[in-house]
């Protein structure tokens, strides 16, 4: 993804794909309008670039070669053996005797063998891979339980272990809170709020979005809870998840009640606390108050105007949370990740009323990196919504931190300035900390200077966007 992003950043390059020639990536290639080379397979490197002209293509190839030729630092070798670098997880584990965690990021159907290799070598495993069969996930987690180890994932994008962020993560101060997360951006939002209030996080253990489903049964959630309970530095554990299977949620609650460390369950859904309320409760449990969540407002407050609410999100959990809040006030919200089956977006993603789109959904990342890395597709839709007279207000998230775009606010701010003074009001949920490389306050000021209202709390941003619609008198029937 990083190489693809570097090539895509070349002026005049429309799309770039640099990846293994797996079946999935060959399908992405076809979606870009290219034919697959004869005999291409998973052991081949696939490079596809769509550029405006030959000169641009030449510049893109030069960037590609520079990135691919850049020296990669050799990994530290803890063992006494020299010679060639390890070629398998098992031999790498033997060489790095102090290692306790393996990160697996291979095509989903191959992840099981690599993750099992790591478990049999005595390591915990972070499975970044998606599209792992659920049967493989259950077998891996059973093997981990038998060995006293933890499988984080599959499709686990956010982890913090001992202050080190893996995948998409934010830089937060160390503290007494341990997080178990079946949600990536949900965990990021919680950690950023705790950091803003002066508290901190020791570990955030992602368990994968399916862990609290009926099929997986919370296997890694219980294992992660037990590990954090045994950690003397953890004073409170918060479990964050999209709506879990009710029976699994009840079992997790029963297990949590047996632990010596207090556990707070933060399950999103109608009638449940939002993530901001969950953060407030966690702080109160620690005897740690907060003066209010940061916000950055433009010099001139936006004027409400009639129209529909349009939510454009990179984070699926942030989108879910915003939909729960908005639906309670405005009624049905059309979405590609709908709260109700009847609220699904039409194929063209253009309903007549309120909508919220998760641009990180698999169907919208075909041929592209995740929108937190490559925001191009969302920026195109943002420009369209800002120009649409039927748009009453726009709500979107900007997520910074490791793995994210180096300056995501710049593209959004540019779109807002290009839209001009007659554009609808824009509300931004900014997820990040003052320790992130992109700079929380610099990102916030860039957005506010372009006319957006900016909130650290995603829930507050959603409620402000709803208020703008209600003030215009354009709210729909209540759900």
Let me know whether 405 and 428 are in one domain.
yes
pTM (2 decimals)? Answer: 0.86
Q: What is the CATH number of the domain that holds 221?
A: 3.40.50.261
Positive or negative CA dihedral for 26, 28, 29, 34? positive
The answer to whether residue 46 is domain-embedded is yes
DSSP letter string over 229-284? HT-TT-SEEEEEESSPPHHHHHHHHHHHHTSSS-EEEEE-STTS--HHHHHHHHHH
Closest by CA position to 186, among listed 123, 236, 243: 243
Work out the pLDDT band at 96, boundaries 50, 70, 90: confident
Per-residue pLDDT for 59 more than 50?
A: yes
Which residues span the domain enclosing 394?
A: 295-472
Residues 32 and 58 in one domain: yes
**Can you tell me the mean pLDDT for 455-475?**
91
* CB atoms closer than 10 angstroms to residue 299: 7
pLDDT higher than 70, residue 104? yes
Q: Are residues 95 and 65 in the same domain?
A: no
Check whether residue 65 and residue 113 sit in a common domain.
no
pLDDT digits (tens, 9 = 90+) for 157-175: 899 998 899 999 999 999 9
What pLDDT is attached to residue 154?
A: 94
Rounded Cα distance between 142 and 134, Å, is 12
- Residue 10 and residue 60: Cα distance in Å, rounded? 6
pLDDT score of 452: 98
Q: Are residues 306 and 438 in the same domain?
A: yes
pLDDT score for 479 = 38
Same domain assignment for residues 256 and 352: no
Tell me the mean pLDDT in the region 201-211. 96
Question: In this predicted model, which residue has the larger pLDDT, 24 or 149?
Answer: 149
**Whole-number pLDDT of residue 74:** 57
Q: Which pLDDT tens digit goes with each residue over 280-332?
A: 999 999 999 877 999 999 998 888 899 999 999 999 999 999 999 999 999 99
pLDDT digits (tens, 9 = 90+) for 8-37: 889 999 889 898 887 767 877 887 889 989
pLDDT band at 421 (very low <50, low <70, confident <90, very high): confident
Q: Say if residue 414 is in the same domain as residue 312.
A: yes
User: Is a pLDDT exceeding 60 seen at residue 240?
Assistant: yes
Which pLDDT score is estimated for 462?
A: 98
CB 108 within 8 A of CB 129: yes
Domain final residue pick, 20, 35, 69: 69
Contact in structure between 231 and 196 (CB atoms under 8 Å): no
Q: Is residue 6 part of a domain?
A: yes
């Amino acid at each position: 993804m990083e190489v693809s992003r570097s090539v895509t950043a070349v002026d005049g390059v429309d799309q770039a794909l640099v990846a293994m020639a797996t079946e999935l990536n060959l399908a992405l290639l076809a979606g870009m309008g290219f034919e697959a080379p004869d005999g291409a397979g998973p052991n081949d490197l696939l490079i596809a670039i769509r550029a405006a002209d030959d000169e641009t293509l030449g510049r893109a190839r030069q960037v590609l070669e520079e990135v691919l030729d850049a020296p990669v630092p050799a990994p530290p070798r803890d063992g006494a053996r020299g010679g060639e670098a390890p070629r398998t997880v098992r031999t790498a584990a033997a060489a790095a005797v102090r290692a306790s965690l393996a990160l697996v990021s291979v095509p989903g159907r191959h992840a099981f063998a690599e993750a099992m290799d790591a478990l049999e070598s005595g390591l915990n495993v972070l499975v970044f891979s998606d599209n792992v069969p659920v049967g493989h996930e259950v077998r891996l987690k059973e093997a981990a339980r038998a060995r006293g180890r933890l499988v984080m994932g599959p499709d686990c994008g956010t982890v913090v272990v001992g202050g080190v962020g893996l995948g998409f993560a934010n830089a937060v101060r160390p503290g007494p809170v341990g997080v178990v997360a079946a949600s990536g951006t949900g965990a990021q939002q919680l950690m950023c709020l705790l950091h803003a209030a002066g508290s901190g996080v020791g570990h955030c253990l992602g368990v994968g979005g399916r862990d609290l489903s009926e099929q997986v049964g919370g296997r890694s959630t219980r294992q992660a809870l037990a590990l954090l309970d045994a950690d003397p530095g953890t004073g409170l554990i918060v479990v964050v998840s999209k709506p879990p299977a009710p029976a699994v949620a009840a079992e997790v609650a029963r297990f949590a009640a047996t632990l010596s460390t207090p556990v707070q369950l933060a399950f999103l859904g109608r009638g449940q606390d939002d993530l901001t309320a969950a953060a407030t409760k966690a702080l109160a449990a620690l005897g740690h108050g907060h003066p209010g969540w940061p916000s950055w407002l433009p010099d001139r407050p936006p004027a409400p105007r009639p129209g529909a609410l349009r939510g454009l999100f990179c984070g699926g959990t942030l989108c879910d949370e915003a939909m729960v809040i908005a639906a309670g006030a405005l009624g049905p919200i059309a979405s590609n990740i709908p709260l109700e089956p009847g609220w699904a977006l039409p194929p063209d993603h253009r309903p007549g009323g309120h909508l919220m789109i998760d641009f990180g959904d698999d169907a919208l990342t075909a041929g592209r990196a995740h929108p937190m890395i490559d925001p191009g597709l969302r920026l195109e839709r943002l420009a369209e919504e800002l120009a649409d007279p039927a748009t009453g207000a726009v709500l979107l998230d900007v997520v910074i931190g490791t793995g994210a775009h180096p300056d995501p606010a710049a593209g959004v701010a540019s779109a807002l300035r290009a839209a001009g003074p007659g554009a609808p009001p824009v509300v931004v949920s900014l997820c990040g900390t003052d320790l992130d490389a992109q700079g929380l306050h610099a990102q916030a000021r860039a957005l506010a200077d372009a006319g957006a209202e900016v909130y650290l709390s995603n829930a507050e941003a959603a409620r402000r966007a709803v208020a703008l619609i209600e003030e215009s008198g354009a709210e729909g029937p209540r759900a």
